[in-house]
Amino acid sequence: MCYCRRCRKLSGAIGAAINVIADAPTLKVEGELEPTRYETSEGPVTAFCPRCGSPLFLEMAIWPDWVYPFAAAVDTPLPEPPHHIHVRWTERQPWVPAIGGPDDPHFEDNTDESMIDWHDRMGLAQS
């Protein structure tokens, strides 16, 4: 779960669950319309549904082989993670209580472990 300002605004909630990573060439977005993309000065490109405006996934130029779907936008079943990681914790709104289980790590900024490495270590990587 990311609590940065951008993720809060994209999700309309206290943060966004961007806990999914996908191989860019294999990503399939169903429907007849191509996602609308918006690039900010911060770097990531956000893809939205052109019909309803729902955020679908992020793309980052520094990792062109990967896309980062918003978990809520994925229609296929996802495996349950063994724990949740909370990043950019210090950027949350002051009224947001501590969230997660007792073993969930909270990071002021971001974790040093990449999403790919975490998924591999947890046995959640799928090909």
| pLDDT digits 0-9 by tens, 33-61 | 889 999 877 778 999 999 999 888 888 88
Domains of the chain: total: 1
Q: Which residues contact 8 (CB under 8 A, 6 or more apart)?
A: 14, 15, 16, 93
In a domain, 127, yes or no: no
The answer to whether position 126 is within a domain reads no
Say if 30 falls within a structural domain: yes
- pLDDT tens, 57-102? 888 888 888 888 888 888 888 777 777 888 888 998 999 887 778 8
Q: Strand 22-23's sheet: what is its strand order?
A: 22-23, 66-69, 55-59, 45-48, 36-39
Range of the domain at 87: 5-121
CATH number of the domain to which 116 belongs: 2.170.150
23 within domain boundaries: yes
